[in-house]
Amino acid sequence: MKRSSLLASLLLAGAAAAEPAVTSRQTELQAQPQSDAATVATLAGNTRVDVQVRKGAWSQVKTAAGQNGWVRMLALKFDSAAGAQSAGSGGGTMLAGLLTGGRTSNSATVTTGVRGLSEEDLQNAQANPGELQKLQQFVVGRQPAQAFADRSRLAAQKVDYLRAPSAAQGGN
C-alpha cells in the first residue's frame, strides 16, 4: 500500500513539473497547437524553454521571458544537462529516471508522418461523397492559403504526375 502511495505521489509531482528543452532551430511560438494558429513570438535556435504539456506533435512551452505557447515537438531538443541539474529537485526528471527502466542514453526515436498508399490501395480506391463533403469544409481561398504559406515559410514544389501503368503492369 505504501509503495502505491509513493508511486502516485511521484507521478503527481512529475506531472506538475516542467521539462527543460532548447529549440533546435528558429521556430514560431503558436497560440494554439495548430499550424494556422496566431504566432505569439519567433524563438531563435537554442532558446531555453520549459515544456509544460505535450499534445500530439505539439509541446506547450514557457520561455525564460515568461511567454507561453505551443511549438512543434520536432523543433525541440530535450536538454539533458538542465535535466541533470533539476534531478535533485524531485521533479519530472526524477520521475523520468524511474520510468526509463535502466536506459543509459536518450535513444528514443520520434517519428511523425503519413504512411502513403500502396499500388493495391490505389487500385481498390472508391469514391466516398460523404467524406468529400467533410473535406470541402476545410476549403480556403487563394489569399488565406498564400498568407499561411508565407507565414510558415513554405515554398512551392512542382510534383510530376505519375506515369500511366503499362500493359505489362496490369494497366487498363
Residue 84's CATH number: 2.30.30.40
Domain assignment present for 148: no
* Cβ contact 71:23 at 8 Å: yes
Domain assignment present for 9: yes
Domain assignment present for 87: yes
Query: pLDDT of 115-125, one tens digit each?
Result: 677 788 888 88
Q: Which residues form the domain of 10? A: 2-99
Domain assignment present for 13: yes
Domain assignment present for 95: yes
Residues of the chain with pLDDT under 50: 1, 6-7, 10-15, 82-106
- How many domains are contained in the chain? 1
Domain assignment present for 121: no
Domain assignment present for 20: yes
pLDDT value at residue 41: 93
Q: Is this prediction's pTM over 0.95?
A: no
Domain assignment present for 168: no
pLDDT value at residue 97: 45
